[in-house]
Chain A
Amino acid sequence: MLELEGVYAGYKDLRVLWGISLRVGEGELVALVGPNGAGKTTTLRIISGLLKPTAGSVRFYGCSLDREPPHRIVEMGISQVPEGGRIFTGMSVEENLELGAFTARARREKEQRMKWVYQLFPRLEERKNQRAGTLSGGERQMLAIGRALMAQPRLLLLDEPSFGLAPILVEQMFEMIQEINQQDVAVLLVEQNVRAALELAQRAYVIENGRIVGEGSGDALLSFESVRSAYLG
């Protein structure tokens, strides 16, 4: 459903991506792993349209995203949970979720969708009238994911969802991601926690210095020698 082909991108005179090609199939859970500064977040920004490639193409269900502004890309069915969640701290939990369903398509089924999100994250329902700024780190991350799901995405982009969470919460977070994926939502997961990500993912890409240097099933990469030595110690 999603295809990146030979994508180059950067900021001003600093090039970050050097010909990235990757693909996410319908309902797949794909991980993108690599060291800090390799270009993982930039890749997600390219897919969301926050940054436009200088060369190469991004296609979603065969449609080119190159000229689409980011808000149109959300409408087309790609939602991103940015690093750190970036929830609207000055607004209530419920208002955050409502904003998630801002697109015309999502707004029509807002009520059912919200029920589903509350089912996934009962904690959010308990705190729905609270200001989002008063939530704990784990709850914020749940809200960020719930908010992205409100847009009824076909593809969910997750940027470091486990970052800064306590170990016990990390495990819950990964279970949650699996559950979401089983609801027929494809997931592209960017993670520092390489072992957990590779165990979870059906396929994975390894990115270094803005290039894809490895690709395969999660299990295969787990046993891949260079990945083992570089990330798993």
Chain B
Amino acid sequence: MPTTVAQSLVSGILVGALYGLAAVGLSLVFGVTKILNVAHGELLMLGGYASFWLFTLLGVDPFGGIPLSMFALVLIGLIMYQLFFSRLIKLPTEDKIRNSLLIGFGLGLILQNIALRLWTADNRGITTAYAGATFTVLGVRLPYVRVASLVIAFVFLLALQLFLRRTYIGKAIRATAQDWEAATLMGINVHGIYRLSFVLGAALAGAAGTLVAVGYSVEPVMGMHWTLKSLIVLVMGGIGSIAGTLVGGLILGVTESAAAIWISNYRHVIGLAIFILVLLIRPQGLFGAKEG
């Protein structure tokens, strides 16, 4: 029994890190541009399929191919932003959020159907030579692939943190998130910062999608699922706090896994229920939290 508990705790942490990585892109984009992109999960899906194609068609190792799938998502993100979201950028905040929800909803539908045409409705995984390999610590089985994904997720979050804290551009991004008008008066091209943030969010979704494809599997309808996971983590962790996002992701992963011991069919309902509760108990949301 204790081993079962430890096992599900560990698998909760492993998937939780991916929730964190998935959410951090959404959080960055929302925090800076006030665009709530509900097609974020679809970007993640495209990242997964990008690495699936790279692996099956060109034989590129999924981990080694992460920069490539991120690059693919940079291009897709750029197109998406230029064609659609950039047109909302001048709206007052509330209208911007509302309209971005509609645009994202529509884009999600389009991308999901494009994926259905390109890759069929089947579940796809990336079966590398080392895919099934595991090692055991204190009776808990750990798949190499998922542990590597956890480490990579941590590295990405840390790198993002350093980028935002230490570099000039990173500081400009934070400044724009806090007060875009004051940032403009510093000589910062805020429209450039918006575009950069959106593209960065897409690239992070690409990386997360690859890790999901290699550790779990991808399918065209996964987008909504991952968007919701990201939103849940966002509400729990707060905007603009990368550490908070990571902790939120881990909490969600562990809670789901714990719930799955007793009510396995409802693991995804648990997170959604927590989400609605947080929304109702903290209506001002952790969304409104200032960056720390």
Contacts and interface: CB of A to CB of B under 8 A. Distances in A.
A and B touch in the complex (CB under 8 A): yes
Interface of A: 48, 50, 69-71, 74-75, 79-80, 82, 86-91, 95, 98-100, 102-103, 106-107, 133, 147-148, 151
B190 A88 contact: no
A74 B171 contact: no
A147 B186 contact: yes
B185 interface: yes
A103 B290 CA distance: 26
B186 A89 contact: no
B188 A88 contact: no
Given A98-B168, A99-B172, A102-B168, A88 B179 contact: yes
Contacts of B292: 90
A87 B185 CA distance: 11
Nearest to B183: A99
Given A98-B168, A99-B171, A102-B172, A88 B178 contact: yes
Contacts of B172: 99, 102
Contacts of B290: 89-90, 133
A197 to B, nearest CB: 21
Interface residues on B, range: 20 to 34
Nearest to B193: A71
B195 interface: no
A147 B182 CA distance: 11
Contact of B185 (A70, A89, A98): A70
A71 B187 contact: yes
Interface in B157-216: 168, 171-172, 174-175, 178-179, 181-191
Contacts of A86: 179, 181-182, 185
A50 B184 contact: yes
Contact of A103 (B171, B179, B187): B187
B90 to A, nearest CB: 12
A148 B187 CA distance: 10
A7 to B, nearest CB: 19
B185 A80 contact: yes
Contacts of B190: 71
A108 B23 CA distance: 37
Contact of B188 (A71, A82, A148): A71
Given A71-B190, A74-B185, A90 B171 contact: no
A95 B184 contact: no
A91 B175 contact: yes
* Top-3 shortest CB links A-B: A74-B187, A103-B187, A86-B182
B291 interface: yes
Nearest to B191: A69
Contacts of A75: 187
A93 to B, nearest CB: 13
B187 A151 contact: yes
Nearest to A80: B185
A106 B186 CA distance: 10
12 contacts: A71-B186, A74-B186, A80-B185, A82-B182, A88-B174, A89-B290, A90-B240, A99-B186, A102-B187, A102-B188, A106-B187, A151-B187
Nearest to A69: B189
Nearest to A133: B290
Contacts of B168: 98, 102, 107
A71 B184 contact: yes
A151 B183 CA distance: 12
Nearest to B177: A90
A181 B183 CA distance: 24
B182 A100 contact: no
Nearest to A100: B186
Given A87-B182, A99-B186, 5 more contacts: A50-B184, A82-B185, A88-B174, A88-B179, A99-B172
A86 B190 CA distance: 16
A106 to B, nearest CB: 7
A233 B137 CA distance: 83
A148 B182 CA distance: 10
B271 to A, nearest CB: 29
B187 A90 contact: no
Nearest to A74: B187
Nearest to B169: A102
Contacts of B178: 88-91
Contacts of A88: 174-175, 178-179, 182
